[in-house]
Structure 1
């Protein structure tokens, strides 16, 4: 049987090893482990260590910090899909007395609730959670710093509130809900709240000398939903595969896709990054990446995946600072995607073709702007400009015969096929815009009418 590393070309494997070796050496990390996945299979893994013969592997636990937030977000989306809450619900509806006003579940998920980034002193990541036994201890006297919904401001206490929300609605601890609703269904048996051997120890490396200092590994208490978990590259790759396609045992594909949609305005000038619902979104060298990074004293972690390239990378290390782990994981995705581009699936025709829908395909004109309407493989419609960039969208059918936009400029807008008295198609109505078979077709109901003289030349 071929080992995972033999599924990539030798040159690709060497480039991956060189990248993590450079990161561990130049970042002065005690140890570093990484793995790459494609088509749901681990195709490469590698590690480096400062101690010969003690390099970590895919089963070695590291603390993953804020990647924990993505797990918490999945649990909240499950509650939404079960009809137990709405993302636009104010938190007070389900968790009265929280003291944060009318901020919504959606704002908490996307870090736009205006809450502070950290809990009050002492530094929560290096002190036991018993110092913050109540939500008021986590939030402090002035939890809100910004107007809710107006900007993205990363908030660890915000995910503490989401953890409390999960416990309130489910009637069980966040840890138990996490275990039964995500970890067990996905087979993530090496992901846990506390470390289980084999696991790495957390270290701080002196910034100006090659010396190390052990870091404490505290139980974060109420802050656990923001950063408590320990995991492995193997388990995180399983989780990433779920975040790409969904799993009906946990969360459907449409809901995990929603998690990847930017949810709040970004900081001014930060157009290459955004935040979805518990998922970070980034543009890197023209490639769209999704995932999350994490850190706690003694540990750094990163998980990035490209849906388009079908490549996922996980990097874990046991140092407080040093390697730019997010960049390393992004580079691993890039190395594989560029060295061994994804081979597309064979083209196949539709199993059946609806004659009425087929008759709608082809060119349509919004005024004089040419667009093309196509049938998609999932029995939907797609409208795109004939040339260049512009307004476009995919559409899904509704029971009443209309179509709803799924993305782009027309997301949520209604597309109607308008027919004449004899049943023939007159035009398309899309959010009040009229699309006709000919530019400004005089036979269609063009707003403002069409000049009776018709098209003419300069001397007409």
Structure 2
């Protein structure tokens, strides 16, 4: 009798789960197919338990050539790159090659400013360092406040080069290979056949944006695809990249590392990852902006759900909330299903 009850319970759970997925798919399709002056142009991938149950590619990778976006299309992923850089740093921690409390001068002795003796790797990872330029004094005492930027992650890429003895592009590409990410790479030293062009809308007119490849790549210039970022989530959150204690350290909010985000509301920062306050269930996420590219990668640990949204049209670079319209609406749909 007990076995029968357990069997029926499992069947009911499976049925409810399938019904919830179908509802989510219908809501997403309704959003993406709705008439709009700015139709969705990119990819959406949604997975649960490591299995993709929804993927959609829409619009053009290259408007001039009328080349359609596909599941293999590659995008510059903006600040999602920081999460990958953070993992490379933390893998060096797991190997005993660095310590998070170490001052960065230990690894970058060429830095001339005195702050290199007080700013630590932890400060770089959490944007609490106070660095505004390599040749200027700090804007504030390290650890005392948050200031988002790119320079710290460029310094982190140099540190892992020093500790590992390998180039940062090689480290990125080896990590992607380990995760089975065939459409992801550091931009340096390769040719592109699947990379989307980036565009922006100005007064309703679409214009091509320059691709600043390999400029602060560690902070915002890495390249990936929708399904590859789901593979990334499965590896990272599935315990395949970091020791368990290190992973817990990565996803834990850090002191004085928080800010208000245009899409996610108030967010705490871990190492290369954010923890939104307003979600009703635990949520780990990253958004990204690059010239002509708007990205989001969200993960819900309770249900092991990934939502990846990549677009190659920035609707409004002056008011980013407008550019994240589809990302925000898709996030609301997925949150409601958790």
Interval of TM-score (by shorter of Structure 1 and Structure 2): 0.7 to 0.9
Secondary structure at 1:141 match in 2: coil
Query: What's the counterpart of residue 201 of structure 1?
Result: 197
Query: What's the counterpart of residue 85 of structure 1?
Result: 98
- Structure number with the higher helix fraction is 2
Query: What's the counterpart of residue 335 of structure 1?
Result: 333
Question: Given the alignment, which residue of 181, 185, 189 partners 2:178?
Answer: 185
In the superposition, relative to structure 1, how do residues 86 and 199 fare at CA in structure 2: closer, same or farther (>3 Å)?
A: same
1:269 shift after superposition: 7.6
Q: Any unmatched runs of 5+ in structure 1?
A: 1-5, 117-138, 342-460
Query: What's the counterpart of residue 429 of structure 1?
Result: none
Secondary structure at 1:76 match in 2: helix
Query: What's the counterpart of residue 285 of structure 2?
Result: 291
Whether the 8 Å CA contact 2:260–2:267 is kept in 1: the answer is no
In the superposition, relative to structure 1, how do residues 216 and 268 fare at CA in structure 2: closer, same or farther (>3 Å)?
A: closer
1:220 & 1:258 partners in 2: Cα distance? Answer: 29
Whether the 8 Å CA contact 1:36–1:332 is kept in 2: the answer is no
Query: What's the counterpart of residue 133 of structure 1?
Result: none
Residues 414-458 of structure 1: per-residue CA shift (max 9 Å, x gap): xxxxxxxxxxxxxxxxxxxxxxxxxxxxxxxxxxxxxxxxxxxxx
Residues 327-363 of structure 1: per-residue CA shift (max 9 Å, x gap): 6446535534544x5xxxxxxxxxxxxxxxxxxxxxx
Whether the 8 Å CA contact 2:76–2:223 is kept in 1: the answer is yes
Q: Which stretch shows the higher mean deviation, 235-244 or 315-324?
A: 315-324
1:279 & 1:241 partners in 2: Cα distance? Answer: 15
Residues 264-289 of structure 1: per-residue CA shift (max 9 Å, x gap): 31458888311101111113342332
1:197 & 1:77 partners in 2: Cα distance? Answer: 32
Secondary structure at 1:257 match in 2: helix
2:311 & 2:305 partners in 1: Cα distance? Answer: 20
Residues 172-221 of structure 1: per-residue CA shift (max 9 Å, x gap): 210111222x1111111110123632231111111x2x311111112334
Secondary structure at 2:178 match in 1: coil
Question: Given the alignment, which residue of 46, 53, 70 partners 1:43?
Answer: 53
In the superposition, relative to structure 1, how do residues 115 and 18 fare at CA in structure 2: closer, same or farther (>3 Å)?
A: farther
Whether the 8 Å CA contact 2:73–2:196 is kept in 1: the answer is yes
Secondary structure at 1:25 match in 2: coil
1:31 shift after superposition: 1.5
Query: What's the counterpart of residue 113 of structure 1?
Result: 129
2:42 & 2:56 partners in 1: Cα distance? Answer: 8
Secondary structure at 1:89 match in 2: coil
Secondary structure at 1:80 match in 2: helix
Q: Map residues 61-72 of structure 1 onto 2, 5 A cutoff.
A: 61-72=74-85
Residues 35-94 of structure 1: per-residue CA shift (max 9 Å, x gap): 10100011101133267x854232111110111111110011011111111101111112
RMSD over aligned Cα, in angstroms? Answer: 2.8
In the superposition, relative to structure 1, how do residues 268 and 260 fare at CA in structure 2: closer, same or farther (>3 Å)?
A: closer
Question: Given the alignment, which residue of 226, 249, 252 partners 2:219?
Answer: 226
Q: Across the two proteins, how many residue pairs are aligned to each other? A: 305
1:15 & 1:265 partners in 2: Cα distance? Answer: 38
In the superposition, relative to structure 1, how do residues 188 and 220 fare at CA in structure 2: closer, same or farther (>3 Å)?
A: same
Secondary structure at 2:98 match in 1: coil
Residues 213-247 of structure 1: per-residue CA shift (max 9 Å, x gap): 111112334x2211121110010001111232220
TM-score in terms of structure 1 length: 0.61
Query: What's the counterpart of residue 11 of structure 2?
Result: none
1:14 counterpart = 2:10: no
2:21 & 2:170 partners in 1: Cα distance? Answer: 42
1:106 & 1:58 partners in 2: Cα distance? Answer: 36
Whether the 8 Å CA contact 2:124–2:156 is kept in 1: the answer is yes
TM-score in terms of structure 2 length: 0.81
Query: What's the counterpart of residue 10 of structure 2?
Result: none
In the superposition, relative to structure 1, how do residues 30 and 16 fare at CA in structure 2: closer, same or farther (>3 Å)?
A: closer
In the superposition, relative to structure 1, how do residues 264 and 330 fare at CA in structure 2: closer, same or farther (>3 Å)?
A: farther
Q: Which has the higher contact order (CA 8 A, sep 6+)?
A: 2
Secondary structure at 2:73 match in 1: coil
Which structure has the greater CA radius of gyration? 1
In the superposition, relative to structure 1, how do residues 327 and 82 fare at CA in structure 2: closer, same or farther (>3 Å)?
A: farther
2:259 & 2:78 partners in 1: Cα distance? Answer: 26
Question: Given the alignment, which residue of 298, 303, 320 partners 1:304?
Answer: 298
Question: Given the alignment, which residue of 307, 313, 317 partners 1:319?
Answer: 313
In the superposition, relative to structure 1, how do residues 21 and 276 fare at CA in structure 2: closer, same or farther (>3 Å)?
A: farther
In the superposition, relative to structure 1, how do residues 238 and 327 fare at CA in structure 2: closer, same or farther (>3 Å)?
A: farther
2:24 & 2:148 partners in 1: Cα distance? Answer: 36
